[in-house]
């Protein structure tokens, strides 16, 4: 009469009963503890198999106090960098025995970010990766970063967040120097949204490089990372006679720019050179193939996870900023300017 109702998921007690051991022993064999005889282990495993037992994470987390889960907050966008970052984090975390739980945020104001972090903390994550810029930090976020180890993969930070990020300033410099070294008088720029610290870094690197070599610094145009916004800005740039080189803050916008230039009858790179940032998979295969500053997304994810786990293991770990160097990849969208008329 004390039949389990149909469809109920078997628990550890059921396994224990079938194997003729205590629940504790089942727990130990399942978590690879020592001090369990081979024979016993076999019996337990057989019972698990027969019952189709699957462990209950909620119970495990509640009881042990550890979730072995990392949280990641990403900005809702379909663009390459988003998924690249997530994938990098996921594989690194998985390798370290952690699961990652992602929450997407639709806007970047502090309330939304705080809500996302709270959700993650309710899920008992042991650490959080912020894959977006922390534009404004409110008290709630401040508290959360104090309570839970946090690493940011954008330049921004609070007092207690660790940072692992690409040196965007350097990226801007590399792109600009590449163009200058090709013989261009100056370099124009299409930036990302100003709320992104990443975008700001690139713009700054570009401007300072230009200033350092005494060139004219053109006004920066601004896009929103989308190909469409690149296209719009390309329509403007293509109408300015002086323009011979453009540094675009992302590959996707760069293709938009190129497209607009084509429509205006400008050739790339013969008339105008264009360089992007990211090195998306298509960068090599669109026409012309795109010269770009590659960001090592996988490596960033890896380092971010490593740092986060270190901070989890020892909360005293001091919060530092780690800068990763990007790589220039020269393809065929950049070249020397046409001989002056």
| Site residues, DNA (CB under 7 A) | 8-9, 11-13, 16, 20-25, 27, 30-31, 34-37, 39-40, 55-56, 59-60, 62-65
Report the partner that residue 118 touches, choosing among a copy of itself, DNA, none (CB closer than 5 to 8 A by kind).
a copy of itself
Report the partner that residue 123 touches, choosing among DNA, a copy of itself, none (CB closer than 5 to 8 A by kind).
a copy of itself
Which residue matches tokens 């350092």?
212
**Cα–Cα distances in angstroms (integers) from residue 280 to residues 11, 202, 231, 294, 341, in the given order:** 47, 17, 18, 8, 35
For residues 154 and 185, the answer to whether their CB atoms sit within 8 Å is no
13 sits near a copy of itself (criterion: CB under 8 A):
no
From the list 2, 5, 6, 285, which residue makes contact with a copy of itself (rule: CB under 8 A)?
285
258 sits near a copy of itself (criterion: CB under 8 A):
yes
Report the partner that residue 23 touches, choosing among a copy of itself, DNA, none (CB closer than 5 to 8 A by kind).
DNA
Q: Which is nearer to DNA, 48 or 258 (CB)?
A: 48
Backbone φ and ψ for 178, nearest 5 degrees, come out as -55, -45
Report the partner that residue 227 touches, choosing among DNA, a copy of itself, none (CB closer than 5 to 8 A by kind).
a copy of itself
142 sits near a copy of itself (criterion: CB under 8 A):
no
**How would DSSP label each residue in 157-171?**
--TT-EEEEE-HHHH
Q: Which is nearer to a copy of itself, 104 or 111 (CB)?
A: 104
Q: Which is nearer to DNA, 21 or 100 (CB)?
A: 21
Q: How far is the CB of 243 from a copy of itself (least distance, A)?
A: 19
Taken in order 49, 54, 60, 61, the sign of the CA dihedral is positive
Q: How far is the CB of 118 from DNA (least distance, A)?
A: 13
Angle at alpha carbon of residue 187, lines to 181 and 189, rounded to 5° = 135
158 sits near a copy of itself (criterion: CB under 8 A):
no
Chain Cα centroid distance, residue 333: 26
102 sits near a copy of itself (criterion: CB under 8 A):
yes
Q: Which is nearer to a copy of itself, 206 or 231 (CB)?
A: 231
Contact string (CB under 8 A) for a copy of itself, positions 288-327, x = contact: -x--------------------------------------
278 sits near a copy of itself (criterion: CB under 8 A):
no
Q: How far is the CB of 245 from a copy of itself (least distance, A)?
A: 19
27 sits near a copy of itself (criterion: CB under 8 A):
no
Q: Where are the alpha helices (DSSP H) in the chain?
A: 12-19, 23-30, 38-51, 57-64, 80-95, 110-122, 139-147, 168-181, 197-212, 227-237, 251-263, 297-313
The pair of three-digit structure tokens given for residue 15, joined into one six-digit string: 């396994």
**Is-cis flag, bond preceding 218, omega within 30?**
no
Cα separation of 274 and 9, whole Å?
A: 59
- Consecutive H or E run containing 293: strand 291-294
> b vs e for 127-156, b when ≥16 Cβ sit within 10 Å of the residue's Cβ?
bbbbbbbbeebeeebbebbeebbbbbbbbb
The pair of three-digit structure tokens given for residue 138, joined into one six-digit string: 């409110």
Which range touches a copy of itself (CB under 8 A), out of 21-29, 107-115, 256-264, 301-309?
256-264
Report the partner that residue 36 touches, choosing among a copy of itself, DNA, none (CB closer than 5 to 8 A by kind).
DNA
Which residue matches tokens 């190129």?
258
From the list 71, 155, 223, 230, which residue makes contact with a copy of itself (rule: CB under 8 A)?
230
Q: Which residues bind a copy of itself (CB under 8 A)?
A: 7, 9, 52, 54-59, 61-62, 67, 76, 78-80, 82-84, 87, 90-91, 94, 99, 101-104, 118-119, 121-124, 143, 147, 226-228, 230-231, 252, 255-256, 258-259, 262, 281-282, 284-287, 289
């Amino acid at each position: 009469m004390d039949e389990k109702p149909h469809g109920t998921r078997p628990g550890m007690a059921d396994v224990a009963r079938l194997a003729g051991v205590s629940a504790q022993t089942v727990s130990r064999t399942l978590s690879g503890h020592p001090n369990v005889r081979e024979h016993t282990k076999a019996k337990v495993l057989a019972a698990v198999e027969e019952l189709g037992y699957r462990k209950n994470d909620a119970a495990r987390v509640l009881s042990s106090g550890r979730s072995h889960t990392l949280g990641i907050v990403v900005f809702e966008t379909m663009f390459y960098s988003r998924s690249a970052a997530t994938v990098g984090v996921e594989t690194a975390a998985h390798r370290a025995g952690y699961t990652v739980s992602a929450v997407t945020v639709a806007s970047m104001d502090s309330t939304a970010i705080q809500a996302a972090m709270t959700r993650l903390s309710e899920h008992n994550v042991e650490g959080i990766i912020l894959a977006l810029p922390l534009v404004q930090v409110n008290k709630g976020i401040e508290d959360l970063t104090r309570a839970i180890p946090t690493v940011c993969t954008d330049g921004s930070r609070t007092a207690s967040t660790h940072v692992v990020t690409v040196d965007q300033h350097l990226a801007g410099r590399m792109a600009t120097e590449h163009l200058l070294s090709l013989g261009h008088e100056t370099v124009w720029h299409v930036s990302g949204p100003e709320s992104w610290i990443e975008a700001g870094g690139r713009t700054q690197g570009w401007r300072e490089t230009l200033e350092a070599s005494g060139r004219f610094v053109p006004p920066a145009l601004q896009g929103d990372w989308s190909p469409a916004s690149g296209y719009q800005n390309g329509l403007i740039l293509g109408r300015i006679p002086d323009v011979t080189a453009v540094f675009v803050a992302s590959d996707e916008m760069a293709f938009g720019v190129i497209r607009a230039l084509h429509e205006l009858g400008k050739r790339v790179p013969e008339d105008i050179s264009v360089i992007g940032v990211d090195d998306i998979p298509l960068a090599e295969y669109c026409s012309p193939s795109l010269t770009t500053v590659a960001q090592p997304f996988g490596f960033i994810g890896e380092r971010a996870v490593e740092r986060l786990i270190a901070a989890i293991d020892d909360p005293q770990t001091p919060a530092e900023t780690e800068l990763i160097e990007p790589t220039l990849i020269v393809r065929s969208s950049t070249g020397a300017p046409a001989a002056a008329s």
